Amino acid sequence: MKCIQGAVMAFLISLFFTSFAYASYQHAPPSERLPLTLLTPSSPAITFEQVTFHLEVGTIRNSDWGQFKIRPNQLYDRYGAPLGTGYINVFLNGQRQGGSWVINNLFIPPAPEQHKRHRQHSRYTGSPSNPSSAVVASYFDLRPGQTGRGIKKRVNATVLFSPQPLPTIIDIALLAQRFPSSRFTVLPAHINAEGAGEIDGRMRTTPQRSSAPRSLALGFPPQAIEPSSTLPDDLLFPIQVIQASDQNLDAARNQCVPMANANALQYLEDRYDNLPLVWRLPELHIRGIGRIGAAGDVLFWEPIPENSLVANVDTFGRRNGVHDLDSGSYTSLCGLIRGVLGYLTQSGDQAITTVRHQGSSSLELGDNGADCDTETMLLGGMVSVRDGIEPTWEWMFEQLQLGRAVTIIYSWYDFQGEWQGGHSVRVYGASEFDGRRYIYTLDDADQGDNFSNVSDPRKQQWEVADTGSPGLLGVPNGRLNMDGMNWEITFALSLEAKPTLVIP
């Protein structure tokens, strides 16, 4: 430990003197510059947003929730050179109020590559998405230390890029104050990402507005970091697993569960359908819905268009009220299981998959009398076997490391602990450093017929830890909270591809 502290202190001292040199010699060569890059409002890579949520429980306008977004493909230093992979830290209000550390080591991944089957066309599919334009985002408290209302037009902030994560200690916070604060414009953002039903309890799929004030329906936004006076033990030994993350399609309204799992299945095909291995899906990864219809008193669902992967998953999930891309209900836990297992059964011998889960009280979910067996849908004897009572970071990390696809459901609660809705996303990465554990997810922030993920496919970073129970922050209950909020991961699904070896 003493060796680690000595190494880090030497690093901080070098930052201090290099920073002084940078301030004195503006034209020093790149090799002599400080390894912290100050990003200013002139950078096209940076966006600060104030979020308005449009959810089933109602609209929360001009909230205290901020969203910080970075476009990695537009991230350059002052010499015009790409900054590449690294980390972003943001201190709100700059030197005037001491700097609230609102964004902590936001990971900037390398640029993704476009894969073969991500073609989008026709009314339902539109123009192709551009993974190189993906934004990396994180929620934060737009008004640290206060609860406010109304439009926020500007913030004073210090935005720093570093090639390695920074320890969240007081010395770094003080160092950040030596950089000038800039005034950034805050843009409006509209988010309606939801659609995952309650896992336990009443298993609700229709969120009911609580007696809590509308502004607190999601609880409080992620709070600013409180820097420590001591160094973490694992600072110099970070661990990380990152999978390909360009499978991120536009979702229809409340379609997060089918879309998260369609994104996961497409990842498996991109990874394992390469000769001499074959693991192949019969449909394309294009937009679509499982549209509901009726013949007399009999309801039925059909994929629109027929060759859409997500439309077929959605069809097996049997969501209510799906008539177009702007309509549809939440997906229940059994709808998730029917959607994934039903689709895999239909896909045949070229897409053999083993399914596992953590969360829910069910030891098995699926066919042969297991929970969610409706006896009216062919699931080919497939089941998902429980691998843990509650989702854990260790399990997700292991599944990702083994090349399996992972999706999660997380729910949000008001400050009284009442369930207010849920969302499902694909987890494409996990890491541990600075005494903290993170997961990396992708989704569509603005669901519906709008092609928002064509220009702005969203990736997010979340710190996960058991920091409290719904409505009782600070009272652990065995579930992982997202960014220390009243948001909990309630279910995790792992899909393991079993490719066929083809020998000529």
Residue 484 has pLDDT above 80, yes or no: yes
Q: Are residues 207 and 267 in the same domain?
A: no
Q: Is the dihedral of CA 480, 67, 208, 321 positive or negative?
A: negative
| Alpha carbon distance 106, 85 (integer Å) | 11
Question: What are the C-alpha distances in Å from 16 to residues 12, 20, 27, 35, 91?
Answer: 6, 6, 18, 11, 18
Distance in angstroms (rounded) separating the CA atoms of residues 245 and 188: 26
Is the pLDDT confidence value at 297 over 90?
A: no
Alpha helices in 273-403 (DSSP H): 309-317, 333-347, 393-401
Residue 223 DSSP code: P
Segment 70-74 shows an average pLDDT of 93
Q: Are residues 257 and 138 in the same domain?
A: no
Residues 54 and 121 in one domain: yes
Residue 436: beta bridge partners? 433
| Residue 234 counted as domain residue | no
Asked whether the predicted pLDDT for residue 157 surpasses 70, the reply is yes
Which region among 280-289, 307-316, 360-369 has the lowest average model confidence (pLDDT)? Answer: 360-369
- Distance set, CA 405 to CA 90, 143, 275, 458 (Å): 31, 37, 20, 18
pLDDT number for residue 112: 53
Which residues, including other chains, have CB under 8 Å from residue 206's CB and lie 6 or more apart? 56, 329, 330
From 183, 216, 249, give the residue that closes a domain: 216
pLDDT score at 109:
85
Between CA 392 and CA 473 the distance in angstroms is 19
Asked whether residue 227 is assigned to any structural domain, the reply reads: no
Contact 415, 212 (CB under 8 A): yes
- Average pLDDT on 484-489 reads 94
Note the pLDDT of residue 387: 96
More confident residue, 365 or 23: 365
pTM as predicted: 0.90
Judge whether 398 lies within some domain: yes
Say what the pLDDT of residue 129 is: 52
Is residue 221 in some structural domain? no
Average pLDDT over residues 461-482: 93
Both tokens of residue 442? 């992708």
What pLDDT is attached to residue 95? 44
Give the range of the structural domain holding residue 17, as residue numbers without chain letter.
Answer: 2-216
Instruction: Compute CA distances 58 → 7, 23, 54, 322, whole Å.
Output: 51, 50, 6, 20
What is the mean pLDDT of the segment spanning 230-243? 81
- Assess if residue 231 is contained within a domain: no
How sure is the predictor about 378, in pLDDT bands with cuts at 50, 70 and 90?
A: confident
Cα angle 469, 439, 8; round to 5: 105
Query: Which distant-in-sequence residues (6+ apart) come within 8 Å of 375 by Cβ?
Result: none
Tokens representing residue 230 in the block: 């001591």
**Of the residues 168, 201, 216, the one at which a domain ends:** 216
Q: What is the mean pLDDT of residues 433-444?
A: 95
Alpha carbon distance 31, 11 (integer Å): 16
Judge whether 224 lies within some domain.
no
Question: CA–CA separation, 310 vs 304, rounded Å?
Answer: 9
**What's the pLDDT tens digit per position in 263-273?**
999 999 999 99
CATH code: domain of residue 345 = 3.90.70.10
306 shares a domain with 377: yes
pLDDT for the residue numbered 111: 60
pLDDT of residue 379: 87
Task: Tell me the CA distances in angstroms from 227 to 171, 174, 233, 439, one per residue in order.
Answer: 9, 10, 15, 21
Domain check: are 212 and 245 in the same one? no
Position 246, amino acid: D
Please choose, from the candidates 330, 323, 332, the residue with its C-alpha nearest in 3D space to the C-alpha of residue 301: 323
> Looking at the structure, do residues 360 and 447 belong to the same domain, yes or no?
yes
Per-residue pLDDT, 94: 46
Which of 445, 487, 425, 464 has its CA nearest to residue 51? 445
CA distances 504 to 106, 275, 277, 300, 501, Å, are 46, 10, 11, 43, 10
Answer whether 164's CB lies under 8 Å from 222's CB. Answer: no
Q: Are residues 39 and 140 in the same domain?
A: yes
Q: Strand, coil or helix: what is 94?
A: coil
Q: Based on the structure, what is the number of domains in the chain?
A: 2
- Residue 225 falls inside a structural domain: no
- CA angle at 77 for the pair 73 and 79, rounded to the nearest 5°: 120
User: Per-residue pLDDT averaged across 426-432, rounded?
Assistant: 97
Coil, helix or strand at residue 380? coil
The predicted pLDDT at position 13 comes to: 41
* Domain boundary pick from 216, 231, 249: 216
Residues 121 and 207 in one domain: yes
User: Where are the extended beta strands (E) located within 194-319?
Assistant: 239-242, 277-278, 289-295, 298-304
Confidence of residue 217 (pLDDT cuts 50, 70, 90): confident
Give the residue with greater pLDDT, 279 vs 376: 279
What's residue 200's pLDDT? 79
Which band of pLDDT confidence, cut at 50, 70 and 90, is reported for residue 18? Answer: very low
In this predicted structure, what is the pLDDT of residue 20?
A: 33
**For 52-66, 144-158, 312-326, 389-403, which range has the lowest pLDDT when averaged over its residues?**
144-158
Statement to judge: residues 327 and 422 lie in one domain: yes
Angle at 494 between CA 304 and CA 312, to 5 degrees: 10
Question: Which three-class secondary structure state does DSSP give residue 403?
Answer: coil
Co-location of 278 and 210 in the same domain:
no
Query: Where on the phi/psi map is residue 248: left (φ > 0), alpha (ψ -120 to 50), or beta?
Result: beta
pLDDT at 194: 98
Q: In which band, very low, low, confident or very high, does the pLDDT at 443 lie, cut at 50, 70 and 90?
A: very high
* 180, 273: one domain: no
pLDDT in tens, 318-342: 999 999 999 999 999 999 999 999 9
Residue 123: is its pLDDT beyond 60? no
Q: Is the pLDDT of residue 115 over 80?
A: no
Is the predicted pLDDT of residue 2 greater than 50, yes or no? no
Same domain, 335 and 477: yes
Instruction: Look at residue 57 and tell me if it is in a domain.
Output: yes
